[in-house]
Amino acid sequence: MTAQPFSEVWQTPFAMPPFDRIETAQFRPAFEAAMAGHREEIEALIGNPAEPDFDNTIAALELAGQDLLKVSRVFYNLTGTMSDDALRAVERDMAPLLARHRSAIFLDPRLFARVDAVFAKRNDLGLDAEQLRLLERVHKGFVRAGAKLSDEQRKRLGEITETLASLGTQFAQNVLKDESDYFLLLDGEADLAGLPQDFRASAAALAEDRGHKGKHAVGLSRGHVESFLTYSSRRDLRETLFRAFIMRGENGGSSDNRAVISQTLSLRTERAKLLGYDTYSAYKLDDTMAGSPDAVRELLDEVWAAGRSRAGSEAQRLQAMIDAEGGNFELAPHDWRYYADKVRRAEYALDDSELRGYFPLDRMIEAAFHVAKELFGLTFIERRDLPIYHPDVRCFEIRDRDGKHVALFLGDYFARGSKRSGAWMSAFRSQQKLGGEQRPIIVNVLNVPKPAEGEPALLSLDEARTLFHEFGHALHGMLSDVTYPSLAGTAVSTDFVELPSQLYEHWLLRPEVLRKFALHVKTSEPIPEALLHKVLAARTFNQGFATVEYCASTAVDLDFHLADPASIGDPIAFEAQVLEKIGMPREIVMRHRSPHFTHVFAGEGYASGYYSYLWSEVLDADAFAAFEETGDVFDKATAKRLHDFIYAAGNLRDPKEAYTAFRGRLPSVEPLLAKRGLIEA
Q: How far apart are CA 536 and CA 553, in angstroms?
A: 28
Q: What band does 140 get if pLDDT is binned at 50, 70 and 90?
A: very high
Query: Residue 402, Cβ neighbours under 10 Å: how many?
Result: 6
Backbone angles phi, psi at 380, to 5 degrees: -125, 125
Q: How far apart are CA 447 and CA 471, in angstroms?
A: 14
Q: 280 pLDDT exceeds 90?
A: yes
The active-site residue out of 62, 470, 587, 617 is 470
Residue 470 annotated as catalytic = yes
pLDDT the model gives residue 4: 83
pLDDT the model gives residue 3: 60
Q: 243 pLDDT exceeds 60?
A: yes
Query: Residue 366, Cβ neighbours under 10 Å: how many?
Result: 15
238 contact partners, CB below 8 Å, separation of at least 6: 228, 229, 232, 334, 335, 338
CA angle, corner 160, sides to 157 and 166, nearest 5? 145
Instruction: Tell how strand 216-218 and strand 394-399 pair up.
Output: unpaired
Q: 681 pLDDT exceeds 80?
A: no
Separation of first and last alpha carbons in the chain: 62
The whole-number average pLDDT for the span 301-312 is 95
**SS3 per-residue string spanning 510-555:** CHHHHHHHCECCCCCCECCHHHHHHHHHCCCCCHHHHHHHHHHHHH
The 10s digit of each residue's pLDDT in 580-620 is 999 999 999 999 999 999 999 999 989 999 999 999 999 99
Q: What is the DSSP string of 111-165?
A: HHHHHHHHHHTGGGTT--HHHHHHHHHHHHHHHHHTTTS-HHHHHHHHHHHHHHH
pLDDT the model gives residue 127: 98
**Which fold is adopted by the domain 5-106+108-148?**
Glutathione S-transferase Yfyf (Class Pi); Chain A, domain 2 (1.20.1050)
Q: How far apart are CA 407 and CA 441, in angstroms?
A: 6
Long-range contacts formed by 361-366: CB under 8 A, 24+ apart: 361/413, 361/448, 361/456, 361/457, 361/458, 361/459, 361/467, 362/456, 362/457, 363/517, 363/518, 363/519, 363/521, 364/459, 364/464, 364/467, 364/468, 364/508, 364/517, 365/394, 365/411, 365/467, 366/517
Q: How far apart are CA 258 and CA 276, in angstroms?
A: 28
Q: 680 pLDDT exceeds 80?
A: no
pLDDT the model gives residue 508: 97
Backbone angles phi, psi at 414, to 5 degrees: -95, 145
The 10s digit of each residue's pLDDT in 385-440 is 999 999 999 999 999 999 999 999 999 999 998 998 889 999 999 999 999 999 99
587 contact partners, CB below 8 Å, separation of at least 6: 315, 318, 331, 332, 333, 335, 336
Q: What band does 670 get if pLDDT is binned at 50, 70 and 90?
A: confident
DSSP helix/strand/coil, 23: coil
The whole-number average pLDDT for the span 353-366 is 94
pLDDT the model gives residue 349: 87
Q: How far apart are CA 384 and CA 393, in angstroms?
A: 10
Q: 253 pLDDT exceeds 60?
A: yes
Q: How far apart are CA 199 and CA 443, in angstroms?
A: 26
**Cα-based torsion angle of the residue sequence 510, 511, 513, 516 in order, rounded to the nearest 10 degrees:** 170
With contact defined as beta carbons under 8 Å apart, do 444 and 470 qualify?
A: yes
Q: How far apart are CA 74 and CA 24, in angstroms?
A: 11
With contact defined as beta carbons under 8 Å apart, do 20 and 386 qualify?
A: no
Q: How far apart are CA 664 and CA 666, in angstroms?
A: 7
How confident is the prediction for the chain on average, in pLDDT?
95
- What is the maximum alpha-carbon separation in the chain? 84
Q: 2 pLDDT exceeds 70?
A: no
pLDDT the model gives residue 465: 96
Strands (E), 370-475: 379-382, 394-399, 405-414, 424-429, 441-448
DSSP helix/strand/coil, 349: coil
The 10s digit of each residue's pLDDT in 207-229 is 999 999 999 999 999 988 999 99
Q: Where are the domains of the chain?
A: 5-106+108-148, 182-247
| DSSP class of 197 | H
The whole-number average pLDDT for the span 26-37 is 96
Q: How far apart are CA 517 and CA 359, in angstroms?
A: 8
Positive or negative torsion for Cα 260, 264, 267, 273: negative
The 10s digit of each residue's pLDDT in 614-667 is 999 999 999 999 999 999 999 999 999 999 999 999 999 999 999 999 999 998
DSSP helix/strand/coil, 343: helix
In terms of Cα–Cα distance, which of 175, 72, 146 is closest to 421? 175
Overall pTM surpassing 0.85 (yes/no): yes
With contact defined as beta carbons under 8 Å apart, do 79 and 27 qualify?
A: no
In the chain, the amino acid numbered 612 is S
Beta-bridge mates of residue 674: none
